[in-house]
């Protein structure tokens, strides 16, 4: 979940800060960030979540090595697929729905960076969960 949130809200912060969206009034970057993120269509958010999450599960099942790098690449590929294939009518506030251009250089770069960092954040949070689970297992075993 935190990887998905990073991939959604970090680009929204950048788009708001750079005034790439008409919703970014420029008065408060945090309010603008949430307005930009809220404007992104549910279809875009769900499509990314399904592709990103499904791909991460697939990578775990394939026992991929270099998880952080793989997760970052999964984030990048997932976001590019959504930008490339989400129909314009479903792209409100995202990709082609932001300014009428499917692969506009600045927003696409922002989305790709968000996907990359979303993958890294997912990998780091998963590692923390695994470590916490291992500590609890050791602690529970010591009690027995």
Total domains present in the chain: 1
Tell me, what's the pLDDT at 120? 96
Range of the domain at 18: 2-143
Give the predicted TM-score (pTM) of the model. Answer: 0.84
Distance of alpha carbon 79 from alpha carbon 87, whole angstroms = 14
Q: Encoding tokens for residue 100?
A: 């009428």
Strands (E), the chain: none
Q: Mind listing the pLDDT tens digit for each residue in 18-41?
A: 888 887 777 788 889 998 999 999
Q: What is the mean pLDDT of the chain?
A: 89
Crossing angle of helices 105-143 and 2-17, in 10° steps, is: 150
Most confident of 7-21, 55-69, 78-92: 78-92
12 contacts: CB under 8 Å, gap ≥ 6 = 33, 34, 36, 37, 40
pLDDT in tens, 88-141: 999 998 999 988 999 999 999 999 999 999 999 999 999 898 887 767 666 666
d(CA 87, CA 50): 16
3-state secondary structure of 56: helix
């Amino acid at each position: 979940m935190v990887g998905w949130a990073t991939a959604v809200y970090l680009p929204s912060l950048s788009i708001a800060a750079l005034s790439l969206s008409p919703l970014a009034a420029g008065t408060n970057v945090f309010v603008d960030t949430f307005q930009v993120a809220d404007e992104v269509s549910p279809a875009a958010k769900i499509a990314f979540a399904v592709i990103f999450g499904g791909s991460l599960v697939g990578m775990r099942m394939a026992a991929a090595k270099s998880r952080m790098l793989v997760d970052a690449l999964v984030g990048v590929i997932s976001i590019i697929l959504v930008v490339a294939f989400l129909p314009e009518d479903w792209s409100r506030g995202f990709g082609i729905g932001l300014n009428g251009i499917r692969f506009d250089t600045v927003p696409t770069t922002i989305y790709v960076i968000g996907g990359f960092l979303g993958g890294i954040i997912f990998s780091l949070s998963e590692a923390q969960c695994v470590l916490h689970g291992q500590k609890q297992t050791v602690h529970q075993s010591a009690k027995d």
